[in-house]
């Protein structure tokens, strides 16, 4: 047995072990390992450990690497990387004091009390690639159930003291997510979902996914208008599909889990809680999920491509912003090219075809091309494999009398009904990302003009000769190009108040910083 460092040759790294067998395993033969290990839980850090009487037991046993693409795929533990493990069956016996309330990622098969004041619980779990559990004598247990296309699912919610008021918010978000994933992407095949609400002081155990067990997070006085308990429930539940069942290699292609999961978070949260109110919903302040993802992406959009290995990102912020939010944002923008329904169908096909198989990014992108019937290389080369930033700007818009030299023609005493104005509208591509852009021009007489520009050149200029002047011009009027770095330069309004725009921009910057904190907390 020896430690190996396949990623960086750092010989101080003892997170991967290689075992050389005395003789090779013949084709069709098998070998059985008995591994004795001990583990000491830390104080809660990075989603595992203890806080007071609460234990969250995750990442606690040696995992077997994945035989993938004809080789062992087994990466070192890095600060930014998440998981890759193979499917199997877990039979787990847990012995704890009798007063502990336990939740685990498996079905409880039996429970026996021991003479020494402990009890031994036996769990069984199939078609999963990890097993985690939690224990605390202070949990309140909330039982519920939901029935989908594959039958009933038992919901066990373990609530920490003081958080009872969030129980039904968690349950409603979980059932809504189960329902929409079942309808849109495919069935949830397990018969249980355990949801763990960490106590005050143990919040670092929250916002985490394991097969059929997720950890959440709330506060004692969580305002109804802050949808943090709902967002975390939906997000961690969504991982049951992309991390749990599709199970891509998160060391090498983290975006296939966290990124697709952030996109489905937008779709599910918006459907359940409203497009503009799915993150914040106060009379004085509202925000939807796509805005949240845009903020995450735009914090640092140009240092790393989505496709980079997770531990090679510029830093933690770039990893989070690109892997989660850029992926969500580029899929939202892709809706404009192939349609929202087609992208939903592509995700359904991808899930049904590749669940339990560890597919790659190429498999995902090919499925989108296949289902949409479109060649999308031009888009993926920029959005997935590139670092180009998208920014189209309405550079100039104005109307002048066509016969500007003819003073009589625009004499103010004379009726100007016959006066013809030439209107120019100029759109500039400020970024290196090329994407088709729609332009909408409105005139004072309520007539309009619409243009579709392929967005390839650096700029385009349109002109109109009409008996009316321009009132406004707008590119991407329905805000579908969510990758656009700057929405503030997308429109021109005659007599606009520049101070209002400036003030709005300040509020946007403030909200961005606050919300990116919320986003950084999800794992
Ligand atoms: Zn996540």
What is the whole-number distance in angstroms between the Cα of residue 24 and the centre of ligand 1?
A: 39
Residue-by-residue pLDDT tens, the chain, 523 positions? 999 999 999 999 999 999 999 999 999 999 999 999 999 999 999 899 999 999 999 999 999 999 999 999 999 999 889 999 999 999 999 999 999 999 999 999 999 999 999 999 999 999 999 999 999 999 999 999 999 999 999 999 999 999 999 999 999 999 999 999 999 999 999 999 999 999 999 999 999 999 999 999 999 889 999 999 999 999 999 999 999 999 999 999 999 999 999 999 999 999 999 999 999 999 988 999 999 999 999 999 999 999 999 999 999 999 999 999 999 999 999 999 999 999 999 999 999 999 999 999 999 999 999 999 999 999 999 999 999 999 999 999 999 998 877 766 656 555 556 789 999 999 999 999 999 999 999 999 999 999 999 999 999 999 999 999 999 999 999 999 999 999 999 998 876 565 655 656 666 666 666 676 666 666 6
Instruction: Return the structure tokens found at 93.
Output: 């016996």
Cβ-count burial of 37 within 10 angstroms (0-12 exposed, 13-18 middle, 19+ buried)?
exposed
Adjacency order of strands within the sheet including 118-128: 88-97, 118-128, 107-113
How close is the Cα of 380 to the center of ligand 1, in Å?
22
Rounded CA-CA distance 241/440 in Å is 40
Expressed in angstroms and rounded, the spacing between residue 414 Cα and the centre of ligand 1 is 67
> Distance, CA 288 to ligand 1 centroid (Å)?
18
Q: Rounded distance, CA 225 to CA 246, Å?
A: 33
Total residues belonging to the chain: 523
- Token pair belonging to 218: 């709330």
Ligand 1 midpoint to CA 208 (Å)? 7
The answer to whether 41 touches 50, Cβ cutoff 8 Å, is yes
Residues lining ion ligand 1 (Cβ < 5 A) are 258
Helix (H, G, I), strand (E, B) or coil at 84: coil
Residue 429 alpha carbon to ligand 1 centre in Å: 34
Q: Where do runs of H (alpha helix) occur along 339-396?
A: 340-354, 361-372, 377-383
**What's the gap in Å between 483 CA and the centre of ligand 1?**
21
Distance CA 336, CA 419 (A): 39
CA of 184 to the centre of ligand 1 (A): 19
In the reported structure, the alpha carbon of residue 470 is separated from the centroid of ligand 1 by a whole-number distance in angstroms of 47
Find the 265 Cα to ligand 1 centroid distance in Å.
10
239 C-alpha to center of ligand 1: Å? 7
Q: Report the alpha-carbon distance of residue 321 to residue 314 in Å, rounded.
A: 11
What is the arrangement of strands in the sheet containing 133-136, beginning at the earlier edge strand?
49-51, 54-57, 133-136, 101-104
Task: Supply the pLDDT for residue 153.
Answer: 98
- 305 Cα: distance to centroid of ligand 1 (angstroms): 19
The number of beta carbons lying within 10 Å of the beta carbon of residue 462 is 16
Q: What angle do CA 234, 239, 240 make, to 5 degrees?
A: 100
Q: What pLDDT score was predicted for residue 403?
A: 84
Question: Which residues touch 286 (CB under 8 Å, ≥6 apart)?
Answer: 276, 277, 280
* 236 CA → ligand 1 middle, Å: 6
Going from the Cα of 96 to the center of ligand 1, the distance in angstroms, rounded, reads: 30
Specify whether the CB–CB gap between 11 and 5 falls below 8 A: yes
Tell me the C-alpha distance between 488 and 495, whole Å: 16
* pLDDT given at position 80: 84
Which residues are 437's β-sheet partners?
A: 453
Helix (H) or strand (E) holding 400: strand 392-401
Between the CA of 498 and the centroid of ligand 1 the distance, in Å, is: 39
Distance 324 CA to ligand 1 centre (A): 8
> ∠ CA 143-148-150 to the nearest 5 degrees?
110
Span from the CA of 258 to the centroid of ligand 1 (angstroms): 5
Ligand 1 centroid – CA 367 distance (Å)? 23
C-alpha–C-alpha distance, residues 437 and 336, integer Å: 10
d(CA 119, CA 69): 43
> How many other C-beta atoms are found inside a 10 Å radius of the C-beta of residue 291?
22
Q: How far apart are CA 90 and CA 60, in angstroms?
A: 14
Per-residue buried b or exposed e for 248-280, using 16+ beta carbons within 10 Å of the residue's own CB: bbbbbbbbbbbbbbbbbbbbbbbbbbeeebbbb
Q: Are 178 and 235 in contact (CB under 8 A)?
A: no
Where are the strands (E) in 227-382, listed by range?
280-281, 286-287
- Tell me the β-bridge partners of 55: 50, 135
Q: What is the Å distance from ligand 1's center to 354 Cα? A: 20
- Angle of helix 260-273 relative to helix 327-338, nearest 10 degrees, comes to 70
Distance (Å) from CA 97 to ligand 1 centroid: 32
Q: How far does the centroid of ligand 1 lie from the alpha carbon of residue 521, in Å? A: 9
φ/ψ region of 231 (left if φ > 0, alpha if ψ in -120 to 50, else beta) reads alpha
Contacts of 514 (CB under 8 A, 6+ apart): none
3-state secondary structure (DSSP) of residue 371? helix
Note the maximum CA span of the chain: 108
- What is the Cα 134 distance to its own chain's centre? 25
- Cα Rg of the chain, angstroms: 27
Task: Return the pLDDT at 289.
Answer: 95
3-state secondary structure of 352: helix
Strands 101-104 and 133-136 come out as antiparallel
* Cα(371) to centroid(ligand 1), Å: 26
The Å distance, Cα 459 to ligand 1 centre, comes to: 39
Rounded CA-CA distance 317/234 in Å is: 22
Instruction: Pull the structure tokens for residue 116.
Output: 């020494």
Say how many Å lie between the CA of residue 108 and the centre of ligand 1.
26
CA of 85 to the centre of ligand 1 (A): 16
């Amino acid at each position: 047995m020896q430690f190996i460092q396949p990623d960086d040759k750092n010989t101080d790294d003892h997170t991967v072990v290689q075992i050389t067998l005395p003789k090779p395993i013949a084709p069709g033969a098998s070998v059985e390992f008995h591994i004795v290990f001990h583990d000491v839980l830390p104080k809660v850090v990075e989603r595992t450990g203890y806080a007071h009487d609460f234990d969250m037991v995750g990442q606690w046993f040696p995992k077997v690497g994945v035989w993938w693409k004809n080789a062992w795929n087994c990466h070192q533990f890095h600060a930014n990387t998440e998981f890759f493990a193979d499917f199997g069956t877990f039979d787990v016996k847990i012995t704890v004091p009798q007063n502990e309330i336990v939740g685990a990622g498996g079905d409880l098969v039996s429970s026996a009390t021991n003479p020494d004041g402990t009890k031994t619980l036996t769990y069984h779990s199939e078609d999963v690639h990890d097993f985690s559990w939690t224990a605390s004598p202070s949990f309140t247990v909330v039982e519920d159930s939901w029935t989908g296309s594959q039958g009933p699912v038992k919901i066990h919610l373990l609530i920490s003291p003081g958080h009872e008021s969030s129980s039904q918010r968690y349950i409603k978000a979980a059932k809504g997510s189960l329902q929409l994933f079942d309808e849109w992407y495919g069935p949830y095949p397990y018969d249980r979902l355990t949801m763990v609400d960490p106590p005050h002081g143990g919040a670092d155990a929250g916002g985490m996914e394991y097969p059929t067990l997720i950890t959440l997070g709330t506060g004692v006085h969580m305002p109804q208008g802050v949808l943090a308990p709902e967002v975390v429930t939906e997000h961690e539940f969504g991982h049951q599909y992309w991390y749990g069942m599709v199970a891509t290699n998160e060391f090498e292609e983290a975006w296939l889990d966290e990124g697709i999961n952030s996109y489905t978070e937008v779709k599910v949260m918006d459907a359940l809680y409203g497009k503009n109110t799915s993150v914040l919903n106060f009379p004085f302040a509202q925000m939807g999920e796509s805005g949240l993802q845009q903020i995450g992406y735009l914090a640092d959009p140009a240092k790393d491509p989505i496709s980079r290995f997770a531990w090679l990102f510029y830093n933690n912020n770039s990893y989070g912003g690109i892997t989660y939010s850029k992926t969500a944002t580029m899929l939202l923008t892709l809706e404009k090219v192939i349609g929202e329904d087609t992208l939903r169908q592509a995700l359904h096909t991808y899930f049904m075809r590749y669940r339990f198989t560890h597919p790659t990014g190429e498999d995902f992108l090919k499925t989108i091309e296949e289902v949409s019937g479109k060649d999308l290389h031009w888009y993926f080369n920029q959005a997935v494999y590139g670092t180009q930033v998208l920014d189209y700007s309405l550079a100039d818009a104005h109307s002048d009398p066509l016969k500007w030299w003819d003073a009589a023609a625009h004499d103010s005493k004379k009726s100007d009904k016959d006066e013809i104005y030439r209107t120019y509208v100029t759109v500039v591509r400020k970024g290196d990302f090329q994407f088709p852009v729609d332009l909408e021009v409105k005139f004072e007489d309520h007539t309009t003009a619409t243009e579709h520009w392929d967005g390839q050149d650096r700029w385009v200029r349109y002109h109109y000769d009409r008996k009316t002047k321009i009132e406004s011009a707008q590119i991407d009027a329905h805000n579908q190009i969510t990758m656009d770095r700057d929405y503030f330069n997308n429109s021109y309004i005659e007599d606009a108040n520049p101070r209002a725009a400036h003030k709005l921009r300040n509020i946007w910057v403030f909200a961005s910083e606050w919300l990116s904190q919320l986003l950084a907390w999800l794992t």
